[in-house]
Amino acid sequence: HYAALGLTQSADAAEIKKAYRKLVIQTHPDKFVSAEESVQKLKKAEFQKLQAAYEILGDEDKRQKYD
C-alpha cells in the first residue's frame, strides 16, 4: 500500500493524506470520460488501488495492523 501511494513506512498521516489527494486527482475516473475505454479501465483500476491503500493507511488502527 505504501508503494501505491509512493511513500515509505516512515510517512506520517499528513504525508499519506497529501500523497493520496495528489494521486486521486491524477487517476479519478471522471477526469477520463472522453478517453479511450482502455484508458478509462486502467485509471479506474489505479483509482481503486489508491482507495484501498488509503483506507488502510489513513486509519491509524488499520495501519498498525498492516505494519
pLDDT digits (tens, 9 = 90+) for 8-66: 999 999 999 999 999 998 888 787 777 788 888 888 889 999 999 999 999 999 999 98
Looking up residue 6, the CATH number of its domain turns out to be: 1.10.287.110
Please give the tally of structural domains in the chain.
1
What is the C-alpha to C-alpha distance for residues 34 and 39, in angstroms, rounded to an integer? 10
- Which triple of cell numbers denotes residue 11? 510517512
Give the global pTM: 0.81
Domain span holding position 57: 2-66
Nearest to 24 by CA among 2, 1, 3, 54: 54
Nearest to 13 by CA among 50, 65, 61, 46: 61
* Model pLDDT, residue 20: 93
* Model pLDDT, residue 52: 94
